[in-house]
Amino acid sequence: MCISSAFVLERQLTLVTPPSDASDASDASDASDATALPVEPTPAPTADAEQAATVGDATPAAPFGEAAEAATSEPTPATTPQAVGSLAGMVALVTGASSGIGAATARELARRGARVILAARRGDELAAQSAAITQAGGVAHTLTVDMADPASVAALAEQAPQVFGRVDALVNNAGIGSGGPFANSTPEQINQIVQVNLLGLMQLTRALLPGMLERRRGAIISVASVSGMIATDPLYSGVKFGVRGFMLSLRRQLRGSGVSVSTMSPGFIRTPLTRRLRGPIPMPGPQVVANAIAELIIHPRREVIIPGWYRLPIWIEGAFPWLVDVGLRPRR
């Protein structure tokens, strides 16, 4: 069994890491799904069959909107009529909201009744996303931010609560990818990915957390990656392991405070950042992740993995890491 598994991994596992694009540094909202470990997939899920694998128990937290009356242990599908309005009255801040997962999440939260603050670096694309939400009957506001600049992150943390009076839910989604040998990385590239993907996330969370704790009500969701469970690219996996460590420990620290902390760990998701990838790996669209993020606000969980079949390579990494070593050995 081990020999055959190693053969499958050697033949099927290929490290595919999209190149870093400095021009999209603080609003490349797809970067979190950029370097997940491809494996020999199960049959591609249909639109109705795409679902998340949840990890861990529910986190006690003050529910939002209609969820205060209807919270259950099983998430309500986002496509049902009951989902619309379930976040009414909530204020959500979504970073990396100009495209991909961030834009889809902002639209989904607005569809469910939340007032949404979209933050990213590309103002023109933010305006287009905000206009789409408004035209659909939602409420949206935009703020520009460069997550690579701590001063810009601090300004966002100061401005966001002033838009609608508070921030109830924070979705840390902004990020960038990386690629190539670590030995070829420049100090600037290392600093940029650590600041955008990890330090900026921590700084923004730290700035907005006291208000949530004072109200004893809030939700913090960070988009990590399957690459934060399976070591692939040194830089990207390094910061995504950091995101998961930060979120999982923060969740334990805040348990019982009324503020929920959940981690979203996607694999390959069909977004602009993965548009150049080819192969047999099924890639659901960003709406699947957006639906799951909305449900995490209503029904907090420790961690969600999308698509669910990534549980297999994650399990292999934990149980038989040498198999993954074989599958990801450098091609020369």
Residues 16, 233: contact at Cβ < 8 Å? no
Which one-letter amino acid corresponds to residue 112? Answer: R
**Of 263, 241, 226, whose CA–CA distance to 16 is shortest?**
226
Whether 310 is catalytic? no
- For 186, other C-beta atoms within 10 Å of its C-beta total 8
**What does the alpha-carbon distance between residue 211 and residue 241 come to, in Å, rounded to a whole number?**
27
As a whole number of angstroms, the distance between CA 293 and CA 238 comes to 23
Tokens of 96: 């990396």
Q: Which residues of 243-267 are buried (b: 16+ CB within 10 A; e: fewer)?
A: bbebbbebbeebeebbbbbbbbbbb
Annotated active-site residue in 64, 164, 236, 246: 236
DSSP string across 149-195: -HHHHHHHHHHHHHHHS--SEEEE-------S-GGG--HHHHHHHHI
**To which residue do tokens 């290929």 refer?**
14
Q: Evaluate whether 248 touches 303 at the Cβ level (below 8 Å).
A: yes
Report how far residue 65's alpha carbon sits from residue 239's, in angstroms, rounded to the nearest whole number.
34
Catalogue the active-site residues. 236
